[in-house]
Structure 1
Amino acid sequence: MKIGMIGCGVISQQYLKSFDQLPDVELVAVADLDPARAAAAAEGREGVRALTVDELIADSEVDTVLNLTIPAAHADVDLRAIAAGKNVYSEKPFAVTTEEGAEVLVAAQAAGVLVGSAPDTVLGTGTQTARTAIDDGVIGIPTAATAIMVCPGHERWHPQPDFYYVPGGGPLLDMGPYYIHALVTLLGPVSSVIGAASRPHAERTIGSGPRAGEKIPVSTDTHVTGVLVHESGVLSTLVMSFDAVATSAHPIEVHGTEGTLAVPDPNHFSGEVSVRRLGGEGWEALPVSGGYEDSGRGVGLQDMAVRGPELRASGELGQHVLEVMNAVLESAHGGTRIEIASSVARPEAVPLTANDAAAAAL
């Protein structure tokens, strides 16, 4: 699969590190609104051309567009690429509004192209080992889960943090996809939500880079909590915040009739999974039993290249998670429980796969 990457910002560096490890994926072109950034991304990469966005979308060599633009541009870039007959794989969130995301899926179906969506971190050994434990009945019947991410805000480290504080950003749409994709992978799709949210600061101060000290306005909620009711009946409690310092809680915990499972940070591909068994003493680390070892961002593209319509990091999953997140915000502002219109198949588990054999096992 020949990839044209649009958007050469901070996250692109992680994808660029992975391309050489993806045997069925080849980067052939890059583009950015800033030509200098595109040129820097292409430098030293044989066969990779720096193009304008229009040139890349029209380029006949590119069959799949990797969309690493800001969230507000995700749907527009995807639709332009689909109209040109390209597959698309978008960074999270899948779009800003649920309606935009649905439009992308309808357009892709009509055009007969594939749509993928980050995050693909859930394909790594951390989440997949937890998935294996749940499927094997290690904690009995799952009954509840918690997913918690708190930090004081990305403006402390990101030199251009504006998009984190407008609609499409905030802790829920920025970090929520990692946690909710993991929850759906572990426990299945969500049927309804109840949410609450706050926005205690009207502005933020950039902490690094050439704009350090500059204040930026906040126009989205920066502390969001919600209850996700899964179709299975499991209740997941979600806390996403840019207004706290730290937490001692595991990033995700899944509680069952026979034990509690501690799941590592879903923003990463690996990490220790541990279980506290009913009647046991203390936490017990579980051996790695699923997922792609030593994988990085872009393994979802490899999955798309080999599995085609059966890709695990699918646009349908991205759209379901987007609808869930926007429903949490709608519930928070309206004070009512919101039913989720979409559903999605729980993605197929990933068997434990060595990095150099990923293509064969995907």
Structure 2
Amino acid sequence: MEPVRTGVIGVGNISPVYLNAISRSPALELCRLASRSAARAEQAAAPFGAAGSDVATLLADDSIEMVVNLTPAIAHDELNAAIIAAGKHVYTEKPFALSAQVASKLAAAAVRKGVLIASAPDTLYGSAHQAARRAFDKGLIGREVFGTSFIGLPGLELFHPNPAQFYQPGGEPPLDVGPYYIAMWINLLGPVRRVHAASGSGQDQREIRRGPLAGTRFDVEVDSTFNAILEFETASVSLILSLDVIAPLLQPGELYGADGILSLADPMFFSGDMALTTAEAGRQPLDIAGLAFSEANSRNHVGQPVADYRGVGLVDLALAIRTGRPHRTASDFIVHSVEVMEAIAIAARTHHSVVLTTTCNRPAVLDQVADADLIALTASPFDVLRS
């Protein structure tokens, strides 16, 4: 297919991953990279043979069909609106917006402009999460009853060179690490109906541990731990999102049914340890033979090999642009996910449960035959563990 001409806004910590994914995929053509500093954008774009400029120049470039927004979350509301207004398709780092109201308005604006929107995370395309979805859909755990999910980190300052943004409004855990877990559970159980939550914080100040700002201290302006209960149509899920855990001991997720237990992989990556436990067979690993995006190609923050194919959602959007077929993180999924994130923060702040007003369809299961082009056109953005 003719590659989708793509521009990228943002040259922060995540940008090399996306620039590799875009430049290596036959479905995409990296044309321009923009930042508030045009000089910095030019420097980052040069190794990829792309142009560098300020944001206004990129948005005015009529040759660019799709824009990837990699700016901090606090800028997403305004910038995604500007991208849509410029008549360009949008793929954005999570979250798509900071509130369901804004997300809904942006989705409606995209329809009026005739452009498509999509959003990270796209880890639900990974072999681990697809295997869990297949096992669940086959009824291997019987009637689902409840789930648990946990992300516990000592703090993003241990591995991010500019972590202060994650301890300010717009960067708190439900909007930063939360989207991975919310997407994983919606992929399994469908839309959320109601949210309960409480929150707190372990430190008033934090210290940057790596990069040029190492040793710098900054204030914590938002709660850094959230304990939520997500009510789905058929089950409830306890979801803990914390940056105050010195040594995480709990599993990323488990779904308990009347006949079995699904142990879920870390939704921040595409692969991981998944298992099905039943009374008859005990604990057995889930089979990922033949499933895409399973080969380890990188390492996580503690050095473990992982599969990380960030960019597959972007290729899925590119195929939707060229073929008209649906992509998995479409507007209903995006808006509902944002409402769940927002509901966790509101419920924790107000001490009242929040009934959600939006809904969505579960993303389609990845099919090895029907999605052969998606799989073939998605390139590994990492070379760490690949020859």
Question: Aligned-pair distance for 1:191?
Answer: 0.7
Q: Do 2:144 and 2:234's aligned partners in 1 also have CA atoms closer than 8 Å?
A: no
Q: For 1:1-362, what aligned pairs fall within 5 Å after superposition?
A: 1-46=4-49, 48-230=50-232, 232-281=233-282, 283-288=283-288, 290-294=291-295, 296-307=309-320, 308=324, 310-352=326-368, 357-358=373-374
Partners of 1:354 and 1:288 in 2: CA distance: 18
Residues 26-68 of structure 1, C-alpha deviations (whole Å, 9 max, x = no match):
211111123343223312223x211211011111111111000
Q: Do 2:319 and 2:325's aligned partners in 1 also have CA atoms closer than 8 Å?
A: no
Q: Counterpart of 1:334 in structure 2: which amino acid?
A: T
TM-score of the two chains, using structure 1 as the length reference: 0.93
Residues 65-100 of structure 1, C-alpha deviations (whole Å, 9 max, x = no match):
100000011121111111110011110011122222
Q: Which residues of structure 2 form unaligned runs of 5+?
A: 296-307, 379-387
TM-score of the two chains, using structure 2 as the length reference: 0.88
Question: Aligned-pair distance for 1:217?
Answer: 1.4
Q: Counterpart of 1:43 in structure 2: which amino acid?
A: A
- The 1:361/1:297 distance shift into structure 2, 3 A limit, reads closer
Partners of 1:105 and 1:288 in 2: CA distance: 35
Partners of 1:315 and 1:245 in 2: CA distance: 37
Q: Counterpart of 2:193 in structure 1: which amino acid?
A: S
- The 1:199/1:309 distance shift into structure 2, 3 A limit, reads farther
Question: Aligned-pair distance for 1:361?
Answer: 9.4
Partners of 2:161 and 2:129 in 1: CA distance: 30
Question: Aligned-pair distance for 1:319?
Answer: 2.0
Q: Give the match's secondary structure for 2:76.
A: helix
Q: Give the match's secondary structure for 1:310.
A: coil
Partners of 1:133 and 1:291 in 2: CA distance: 16
- The 1:354/1:161 distance shift into structure 2, 3 A limit, reads farther
Q: Counterpart of 2:318 in structure 1: which amino acid?
A: A
Q: Which residues of structure 1 form unaligned runs of 5+?
A: none
Question: Aligned-pair distance for 1:196?
Answer: 0.5
Q: Counterpart of 1:266 in structure 2: which amino acid?
A: P
Q: Counterpart of 1:288 in structure 2: which amino acid?
A: I
Residues 250-297 of structure 1, C-alpha deviations (whole Å, 9 max, x = no match):
21111111111111111111223211113333x211111645445611
Question: Aligned-pair distance for 1:2?
Answer: 1.3
Q: Do 1:189 and 1:346's aligned partners in 2 also have CA atoms closer than 8 Å?
A: yes
- The 1:357/1:20 distance shift into structure 2, 3 A limit, reads farther
Partners of 1:20 and 1:213 in 2: CA distance: 35
- The 1:361/1:73 distance shift into structure 2, 3 A limit, reads closer
* Root-mean-square deviation over aligned CA pairs: 2.1
Q: Counterpart of 2:16 in structure 1: which amino acid?
A: Q
Q: Do 2:39 and 2:53's aligned partners in 1 also have CA atoms closer than 8 Å?
A: no
Q: Counterpart of 1:332 in structure 2: which amino acid?
A: A
Q: Give the match's secondary structure for 1:321.
A: helix
Q: Do 2:225 and 2:244's aligned partners in 1 also have CA atoms closer than 8 Å?
A: yes
- The 1:321/1:291 distance shift into structure 2, 3 A limit, reads farther
Partners of 1:262 and 1:45 in 2: CA distance: 40
- The 1:340/1:325 distance shift into structure 2, 3 A limit, reads same
Count residues in correspondence. 359
Partners of 2:113 and 2:61 in 1: CA distance: 17
Q: Give the match's secondary structure for 1:145.
A: strand
Partners of 1:156 and 1:355 in 2: CA distance: 38
Partners of 1:280 and 1:82 in 2: CA distance: 52
Partners of 2:371 and 2:309 in 1: CA distance: 10
